[in-house]
Amino acid sequence: MNHRFVLTGGPGAGKTTLLSVLGECGYPFVLESARRIIKERLAAGLSPRPDPVAFAQQILSADIDKYRDASACDVMFFDRGVLDALYMLEAESALTHSEIAEYVQAFPYNNIVFLLPPWEEIYGKDSERDQTFEEAVEVFEGMKRWYCQWGYETLNVPRGSAYERASYIVKSVKALTNRF
């Protein structure tokens, strides 16, 4: 069984905070690549993002590296996955369907993907997140369709404190893997 679990959804839904709580509880996780890339670009005096295709390719490359570096036998949580970058590239018509399928097959995750729905009360912009809440909703809907299109089942993580959300995820993973 694949023990790589993706947390995805629109920006500002609480993924990073939730992963930090999982980390505090001893569960390993991998942070998303986009925020790091944006921070590095801003520190270098560049615009936050290059053109969309170049940005998505940078994210894809970083996510592939993180996937390969993650332990294959232990439960690991990912703040977005390779498929998120592929979604961006597909939106820009930068890859064919067969190219995307090759990536999806080469970098599989657990069939269950945790989807964090938009939550306006916690949504906020910062130097790395400049999308509107409406754009965050669109990304959420897109991610839900995208992962389902590639054979994944999405579970909506209920709203609540980060600790309640982490508990929901841990219970779900335990039920799926009989581990922890």
The count of structural domains within the chain is 1
Contacts of 144 (CB under 8 A, 6+ apart): 115, 154
Host domain of residue 134: 4-177
Residue given tokens 């404190």 in the structure block? 161
**Which three-class secondary structure state does DSSP give residue 154?**
strand
Contacts of 98 (CB under 8 A, 6+ apart): none
- Token output for 130: 């400049």
The CA-atom distances, in angstroms, between 58 and each of 3, 136, 142, 154, 157 are 25, 21, 20, 26, 28
Q: Cα 17 to chain center, whole Å?
A: 13
Please give the model's pTM, rounded to 2 decimal places.
0.90
- Where is 179: in which H helix or E strand? none
Low-confidence spans in the chain with pLDDT less than 50? none
pLDDT of residue 123: 65
Q: What is the CATH number of the domain that holds 155?
A: 3.40.50.300
